[in-house]
């Protein structure tokens, strides 16, 4: 088993405004601030959401569209390099007004009602993503 070690460089609270696309806002912030490695945490509420899932046999992504307001129960992810640029990979769980939870990949189309987001900027051994033929996914390269 291979590993890479990193150290927390700084903790950054970022402003995500009402009406912003959650993934785009986080991705743009990382690109503009040269954050190549990091951890992402967010809570709040969405006006609508698009949450992805991966069909392992077909090696394709599907999506669930949620057109009603939801609470962000949890949004966790990371930042690494893909094709030389910061790439945000995050998963999100949202709950409807009845408390039913749906989760999966954070996709574009998650429109913020209100959100509190923390990025922990990491430094040290660079994590990059490359296509893994077995899974069809861009995974961390530990070579």
Ordered structural domains, the chain, with CATH: 20-124 (3.30.1330.80)
Q: How do residues 88-139 score in pLDDT, each as one tens digit?
A: 999 999 999 999 999 999 999 999 999 999 999 999 888 999 999 999 999 9
> In this structure, are strands 128-132 and 70-82 parallel, antiparallel, or unpaired?
parallel
pLDDT tens profile 15-63? 999 999 999 999 999 999 999 999 999 999 999 999 999 999 999 999 9
Global pTM value: 0.94
Q: Which two tokens stand for residue 88?
A: 């945000």
- Whole-angstrom Cα distance, residue 83 to residue 131? 10
């Amino acid at each position: 088993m291979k590993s890479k070690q990193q150290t927390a460089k700084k903790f950054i609270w970022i402003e995500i405004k009402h009406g912003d696309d959650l993934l785009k806002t986080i991705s743009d912030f990382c690109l503009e601030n040269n954050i190549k490695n990091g951890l992402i945490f967010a809570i709040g509420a969405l006006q609508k959401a698009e949450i992805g899932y991966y069909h392992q046999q077909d090696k394709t992504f599907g999506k669930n569209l949620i057109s009603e307001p939801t609470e962000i129960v949890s949004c966790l992810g990371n930042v690494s390099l893909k094709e030389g640029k910061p790439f945000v990979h995050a998963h999100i769980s949202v709950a409807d007004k009845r408390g039913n939870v749906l989760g999966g990949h954070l996709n574009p189309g998650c429109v913020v009602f209100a959100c509190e987001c923390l990025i922990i900027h990491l430094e040290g051994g660079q994590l990059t993503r490359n296509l893994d033929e077995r899974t069809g996914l861009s995974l961390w390269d530990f070579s």
